[in-house]
């Protein structure tokens, strides 16, 4: 900001009210985008990180269903967009990591590039560029003379045929799409001809031109899906040999928007970009950062253009959206920016700093595009769900509980894994969220701890955590460990919150890129041998394990919050502490609608002009 690299965010600040806000633990994506949308704490809305334990379920069931917390039926609080929907402010919820599929009566929702369970993939097949030859030894890339009878006078020269094969996972059966190379003027081959098939009209594509959208039904692992794609003739040599064709991504129109019909409208009117590859976790931690930033800019552009298109098409009055690439960059780079990190060098710092700066500039560009698509009387709120701090050491919380005789495992020959011994384990740990559950009789299906033992077991957990140290430094690994009902300001007193809540000190973290690490019920031999502390190999920034007030060098878990627009002061910095639960009640008052039913935050009166 001081360098002048973020002029559009700076303009929002100068024309509005800005402050620093605190997340609600656990300080991560599903929890805090839900907090932002509901004004409720974790204990009330029940969205506990990417994994949640529902009372009455086996304690380990929740870790088998990553991201179900982002489904609307698992949220126990009312969303602000539902209130807006009832009060004539038609909402559009875009790329938002909470609330799918919702129950909007007048508004709409689109996942776009954000994956959530119980939705369908928007992209069925990635884009392809292929060159076809008359003498190709690869039958899939061979040009042959047409065996089909085409329309009379279609081509001066004998039509040539190429077969575009569509055979990517999750497509069950390969599809052959026939195209013809034709000579329309008698001067050599100059055009691709696509015959009329099903509901598609015939098309003639000259060199450098693209077809209209082609509709096709594809049998996939997700069922029979209605799809769209385009074909571009990149090169058509006059002799017909070496024809180069670009096939767009194949887009599925179903299962990622509400209403369903919106999917086709977005695909046809917005340049939708997809992730370059499948990934196990939502924040894309694989690969180098630089190529990812190219995708991030495309993602930001797609989001901005979707907002603009739907404003005209849907006529929305309120829009809620999120982008995620800053989080990705933080996870991959922050340790390179901290002088105490073993990864730190002047060269690595410069590279990481440039990547982080680029990511923020992409956000700034997005702000500019969004502001251009709305009028000057639009109320704008700019906020994040959490910050992030550098990390380079992994903590094995299991060891603390095993050493305290609270957690037991036994070898399973059939699965070749260590499985938790429920008959002897008094506790079960979660890591995202950082909770520990007591395996309690009458509450948990495999409970062994009686009501009379409950508090002693909680004491034993607290002692085990507080005495857990880094063998290299002798430093305690735990910043704070409490009973969930303690420190009500942290908002953890709810039925889906573990019996013990713990927070790590930086630079320690738990997750290092393998989701199997996050299931304490099943462990490989290698996992069982992991020491209390080890150096990170894949993750170099984190946020979910720390207090909302945590600071580490120049980094913090807190977030920026900006209000800008009608009824808001200009150029005013709030000095008081603000929590993310305060956003929804304040925004509701600015919009002149009731606050969400379960909102616990306060209205920030100093925001108002």
Q: Residue 540: what pLDDT?
A: 93
What percentage of residues in the chain have a pLDDT greater than 70?
Answer: 97
pLDDT at 277 over 60: no
pLDDT for the residue 279: 45
Residue 326, φ and ψ in degrees, nearest 5? -60, -40
Q: Is 9 helix (H, G, I), strand (E, B) or coil?
A: helix
394-415: per-residue pLDDT in tens?
Answer: 999 999 999 999 999 999 999 9
Alpha helices per DSSP H over 334-444:
346-373, 397-403
Q: What's the pLDDT at 586?
A: 98
pLDDT, residue 272, reads 55
pTM: 0.94
How far apart are alpha carbons 44 and 75 in whole angstroms?
9
Give the helix ranges, DSSP H, for 15-168: 29-38, 42-45, 80-86
DSSP 334: G
Peptide bond into 101 cis (omega under 30): yes
187-197: pLDDT as tens digits? 999 999 999 98
Beta strand residue intervals within 425-487, DSSP E: 427-429, 435-438, 478-483
- Do strands 243-247 and 128-132 pair parallel, antiparallel, or not at all (unpaired)? antiparallel
Mean pLDDT in residue range 121-133: 94
Whole-number pLDDT of residue 294 = 87
Look at the block and give the residue holding tokens 């993750």. Answer: 539
Phi and psi based region of residue 175 (left: phi greater than 0; alpha: psi -120 to 50; beta: remaining): beta
Q: Which two tokens stand for residue 475?
A: 């430093």
What's the mean pLDDT in 470-485?
97
**Residue 542 gets which letter from DSSP?**
E
Pairs from 133-137 (Cβ < 8 Å, separation ≥ 24): 133/241, 133/242, 134/160, 134/240, 134/241, 135/241
Confidence tier at 274 by pLDDT (50, 70, 90): very low
Q: What is the pLDDT of residue 168?
A: 83
Confidence of residue 29 (pLDDT cuts 50, 70, 90): very high
**pLDDT for the residue numbered 197:** 85
What digits encode the pLDDT tens for the residues 182-227?
A: 999 999 999 999 999 888 999 999 999 999 999 999 999 999 999 9
10 Å CB burial of residue 325 (0-12, 13-18, 19+) is buried
State yes or no: pLDDT of 148 exceeds 70: yes
Question: CA-to-CA distance for 592 and 585, rounded, in angstroms?
Answer: 10
Cα–Cα distance between 227 and 213 in angstroms, integer? 10
8 Å CB contact between 99 and 58: no
CB 579 within 8 A of CB 491: no
Q: What's the rounded Cα separation, in Å, for the pair 599 and 79?
A: 9
Whether residue 24 contacts residue 37, with contact meaning beta carbons closer than 8 Å, is answered with no
Beta bridge partners, 162, equal 179
Q: How far, in Å, CA of 29 to CA of 570, rounded?
A: 30
Banded pLDDT at 278 (limits 50, 70, 90): very low
Q: Is the peptide bond before 507 cis (omega within 30 degrees of 0)?
A: yes
Q: Distance between CA atoms of 291 and 450, rounded to whole angstroms?
A: 54
pLDDT tens digit string along 52-102? Answer: 999 999 999 999 999 999 999 999 999 999 999 999 999 999 999 999 999
Per-residue pLDDT, averaged over 158-168, amounts to 92
DSSP code of 180?
A: E
Contact 43, 493 (CB under 8 A): yes
- What average pLDDT is seen over the chain? 94
Contacts of 364 (CB under 8 A, 6+ apart): 5, 6, 7, 8, 9
């Amino acid at each position: 900001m001081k360098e002048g690299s973020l002029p559009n965010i700076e303009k929002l600040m100068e024309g509005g009210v800005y402050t620093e806000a605190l997340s609600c633990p656990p300080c991560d994506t599903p929890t805090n985008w839900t907090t932002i949308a509901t004004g409720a704490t974790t204990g009330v809305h029940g969205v506990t990180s990417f994994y949640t334990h529902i009372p009455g379920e086996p304690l380990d069931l929740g870790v088998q269903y990553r991201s179900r917390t982002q489904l609307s039926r698992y949220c126990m609080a009312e969303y602000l967009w539902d209130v807006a929907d009832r009060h004539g402010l038609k909402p559009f919820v875009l790329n938002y990591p909470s609330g799918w599929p919702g129950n909007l009566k007048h508004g709409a929702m689109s996942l776009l590039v954000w994956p959530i369970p119980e939705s369908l993939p928007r992209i069925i097949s990635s884009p392809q560029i292929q060159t076809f030859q008359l003498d190709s030894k690869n039958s899939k890339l061979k040009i042959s003379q047409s065996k089909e009878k085409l329309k009379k006078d279609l081509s001066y020269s004998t039509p040539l045929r190429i077969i575009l094969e569509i055979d990517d996972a999750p497509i069950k059966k390969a599809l052959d799409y026939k195209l013809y190379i034709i000579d329309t003027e008698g001067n050599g081959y100059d055009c691709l001809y696509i015959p009329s098939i099903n509901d598609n009209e015939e098309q003639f594509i000259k060199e450098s031109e693209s077809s209209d959208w082609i509709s096709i039904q594809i049998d996939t692992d997700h069922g029979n899906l209605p799809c769209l794609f385009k074909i571009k003739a990149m090169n058509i040599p006059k002799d017909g040999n070496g024809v180069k064709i670009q096939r767009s991504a194949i887009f599925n129109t179903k299962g990622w928007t509400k209403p369903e019909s919106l999917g086709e409208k977005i695909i046809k009117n917005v340049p939708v970009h997809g992730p370059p590859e499948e990934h196990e976790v939502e924040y894309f931690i694989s690969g180098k950062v630089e190529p990812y930033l190219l995708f991030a800019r495309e993602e930001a552009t797609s989001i901005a253009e979707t907002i603009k298109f739907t404003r005209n098409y849907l006529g929305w009055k309120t829009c809620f959206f999120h982008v995620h690439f800053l989080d990705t960059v933080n996870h991959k780079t922050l340790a390179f920016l901290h002088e105490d990190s073993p990864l730190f060098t002047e060269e690595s710092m410069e590279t990481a700093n440039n990547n982080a700066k680029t990511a923020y500039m992409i956000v700034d560009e997005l702000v500019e595009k969004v502001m251009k698509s709305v009028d000057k009387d639009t109320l704008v709120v700019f906020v994040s769900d959490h910050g992030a701090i550098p990390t380079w050491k992994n903590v094995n919380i299991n060891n603390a509980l095993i050493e305290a005789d609270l957690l037991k495992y036994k070898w399973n020959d059939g699965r070749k894994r260590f499985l938790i011994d429920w008959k002897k384990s008094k506790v079960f740990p979660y890591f995202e969220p950082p909770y520990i559950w007591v395996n309690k009789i009458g509450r948990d299906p495999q409970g062994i701890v009686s009501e009379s033992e409950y508090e002693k077991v909680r004491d034993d957990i607290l002692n085990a955590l507080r005495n857990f140290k880094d063998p290299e430094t002798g430093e305690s690994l735990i910043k704070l460990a409490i009973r969930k009902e303690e420190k009500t300001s942290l908002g953890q007193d709810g039925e889906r919150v573990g019996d013990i809540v713990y927070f790590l000190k930086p630079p320690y973290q738990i997750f290092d890129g393998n989701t199997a690490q996050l299931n304490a019920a099943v462990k490989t031999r290698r996992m069982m041998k992991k020491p209390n502390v080890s150096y990170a190999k894949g993750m170099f920034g984190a946020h979910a394990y720390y207090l909302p007030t945590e600071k580490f060098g120049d980094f913090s878990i807190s977030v920026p919050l900006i209000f800008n627009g009608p009824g808001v002061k200009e150029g005013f910095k709030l000095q008081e502490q603000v929590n993310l639960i305060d956003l929804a009640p304040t925004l509701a008052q600015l919009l002149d609608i009731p606050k969400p039913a379960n909102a616990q935050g306060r209205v920030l009166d100093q925001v108002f002009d």
